[in-house]
Amino acid sequence: MVQRPHLAAGVAAAGLLLAAALAVADPGTVDDPLGAVLLACAIVSRLLAVDVSDQRIFVSGAFLCGILAACFLGPAAAFAVPVAAELVGWAVERYRRVPLLINLAGSALPTVGAAVVLRATDLDRESAGFAVALALSSGAVLLVNSELVGSAMALLDGQALRNRVRALSDLAPTIAINIALVTAIGAVYAQTGFAVITLVLVALLAFSYMTRLVIAARERTKEYANLSWGVLSGLIRTLDARDHRAARHCAAVARFARDIAGHVGMSEREQELAHTAGLLHDIGRFALSDRVMERGVVLTEDDWTAIRRHPELGADLLRDIGVYGPLSEIIVAHHERPDGKGYPSRLTGEDIPEIAKIIAVAEVYDTLTAPDTYRTRLSSFEALTELRRVAGTQLEGIYVEALAELLAGQGTEYRHADAADYDEELAIERRMNEAAGG
């Protein structure tokens, strides 16, 4: 669709002029101190506004002030409050002028329209009918505002109008919250007067400010999570450059570990934890020397000591990052054994985290069946025979059998994870969002 900025500006200007004409024709109350309070609260709310475009539910302090002005003061205040708030916001943000015009029309016209209708009904402010009128007016204003602004912006940006019309179900949570707030605040004012509603509006501003702080903190957390996952995935890729099996092996272990956890009835959260631990279980190997990482090198006792430290090094790294701290208990224990002969702490039985036991089974199986391992490759059947031989000593028997049951219904591609893809298993964007709580 072709962009039509002049048409969008014309439609918005017409709407704004119509709202102004209605406000001038029957201004209503213009000298009530409530007007100054609503105007001040609307301006402050607009300045405290935060971008929550990825959320369906939001509370607009400026909107509430506008609809309250429409309900209790009349068309002139219903025009002045949203227009002044938006102009102050634009003076600070300095976005494009045509969108400013659209926002002014979209906020003023429905609010003034509601004021005109409410004045025509002339309901008793303490009656149930007035409360119903408040609720209906606030819902209608919010819905009309959304569609007016959306349609005008579609014209401006060259989008199809049918794609801009939002389903009522999308707006339902927002409408419900605003209806409840407007009705409650209106009832407070009708019953108690100016002083109490002022306190309520101040509380609303405090809520807006706290919301801004929470969203800002959430964004910082998301940035930190993005950086953390970027660092971790970068380390795995560097490890893969030194040992070309590393990334594929981590992807395979992650897949097997998640499926074993699901097969034995663990929760979705535990399955995800097993999957993530599988991806990162060998990250401590990044700290090993190039000599230790080379194939075919005869390792000394010092080399083996360094190798046995990689679970601790990986766990320390995850603890330092913080967001992934719970994984450290799994990573540090994935080479422990039920018989107490593992490392680094020689844990036994129930002292070993269950997911660490799952990682151990998945890792041994992939090492035995992989084409890029340092030993002769075994078939899936031969590998399961070996796993069952060491079940109860090196590996937890219940998870060995769980893997065997999983493999029984799978083809060669799954049994031999030759094509396991680290990027696919990593799904980094999803992990960033989940780590940030998004």
DSSP string for 266-292: --HHHHHHHHHHHHHTTGGGGGS-HHH
Secondary structure letter of residue 420 according to DSSP:
-
The pLDDT tens digits for 111-124 are 999 999 988 888 87
What is the C-alpha to C-alpha distance for residues 197 and 211, in angstroms, rounded to an integer? Answer: 21
Arithmetic mean of pLDDT, 47-59: 52
The pLDDT tens digits for 155-187 are 887 766 555 444 455 556 666 776 777 777 777
Closest CA to 234 of 169, 128, 290, 317: 317
Arithmetic mean of pLDDT, 227-255: 76
Q: Positive or negative CA dihedral for 187, 190, 194, 196? A: negative
Closest CA to 432 of 232, 237, 146, 148: 232
Rounded to 5°, the CA angle 204-207-208 comes to 90
**Looking at residue 130, what is its pLDDT?**
80
pLDDT band at 427 (very low <50, low <70, confident <90, very high): low
**Looking at residue 358, what is its pLDDT?**
97
174 phi, psi to nearest 5 deg: -65, -45
The pLDDT tens digits for 334-357 are 999 999 999 899 999 889 999 999
**Looking at residue 52, what is its pLDDT?**
47
Q: Which residue has the higher pLDDT, 59 or 375?
A: 375
pLDDT at 380 over 70: yes
Report for 236-240, 256-260, 413-417, 425-429: range of highest mean pLDDT: 256-260
Q: Out of 136-150, 254-268, 319-333, which region has the weakest mean confidence (pLDDT)?
A: 319-333
CB-based contact 258:278 (threshold 8 Å): yes
pLDDT at 106 over 50: yes
Unique residue bearing structure tokens 């601790």:
312
**Looking at residue 58, what is its pLDDT?**
43
The pLDDT tens digits for 269-324 are 899 889 989 988 888 887 776 666 666 667 778 778 777 888 888 888 777 665 55
Q: Which domains does the chain have, with CATH numbers?
A: 5-220 (1.10.1760), 243-436 (1.10.3210.10)
pTM above 0.75, yes or no: no
213 phi, psi to nearest 5 deg: -65, -40
> What's the whole-number average pLDDT of the chain?
80
Specify the length of the chain in residues.
438
CB-based contact 186:68 (threshold 8 Å): yes
